[in-house]
Amino acid sequence: MDLHRTLLGEIQREFPSFAIVKKRDVALQKAIDVFLKVVTLGGQRAYLTRYHTVLFGKLYVPDTWDEMVDVDRVILLRHERVHLEQGRRMGFLGMAFVYLLPFFPLGLAYGRARIEWEAYEETIAATLEFKGKAAALALRPWLVERFVGPDYGWMWPFPRTIEQWFDAAFEDAIAKQDARS
């Protein structure tokens, strides 16, 4: 059995209404895509085609989901599971508020950054587990750009803070992996 199918089963037991849905088939996802293109002045123009989104307890995926290898699906599902857990903890409205508002929707979105930091810590740990140290370390410049660039609406304008967060998250993942060994 594929690793991602095993994890998918675990997620569905924990979140019974969880499902994977193609973004291109959902009018709301298309509307979000247009909205993001407008508010980021074209900076985020790949929402529908490159990004995976948890909303209303579902994972909305681009068509590239079909081409992903098993281990990459596992890493992604572990990241998205964190968002499902956050949604359970905060409730939909609470998570939407934290994700969209504090402090500003664009440029300094502390709430969104905190939510994504937690999920990307799992991405780092899963990448380390399945692909090794070099692959996990290679995430650093990509993640810095995601946080300070248009992918998330320039949610955190301080690259050094992201670099420090990444370094601490990477070291924590190493320590946890060593403790399990």
Q: What is the pLDDT of residues 24-69, one digit of tens each?
A: 999 999 999 999 899 888 989 999 999 999 999 999 999 999 999 9
Low-confidence ranges of the chain (pLDDT < 50): none
Predicted confidence at residue 104, as pLDDT, reads: 67
Integer Cα distance of 172 and 157 in angstroms: 24
**Residue whose C-alpha is closest to residue 84's, from 116, 57, 45:** 57
What is the number of alpha carbons within 13 Å of residue 6 lying toward its C-beta? 7
DSSP 91: -
Which single residue is written with the structure tokens 């992996």?
Answer: 177
Predicted confidence at residue 63, as pLDDT, reads: 92
Integer Cα distance of 30 and 53 in angstroms: 12
Predicted confidence at residue 40, as pLDDT, reads: 85
Which single residue is written with the structure tokens 């594929």?
Answer: 2
Predicted confidence at residue 41, as pLDDT, reads: 87
Predicted confidence at residue 100, as pLDDT, reads: 81
Predicted confidence at residue 86, as pLDDT, reads: 97
Integer Cα distance of 24 and 29 in angstroms: 7
Predicted confidence at residue 181, as pLDDT, reads: 80
Q: SS3 of 53, please?
A: strand
Query: Per the structure, how many domains does the chain have?
Result: 1
Instruction: Find the domain containing 90 and state its range.
Output: 3-180
Predicted confidence at residue 85, as pLDDT, reads: 97
**53 near 59, Cβ under 8 Å?**
yes
**103 near 147, Cβ under 8 Å?**
no
Predicted confidence at residue 160, as pLDDT, reads: 97
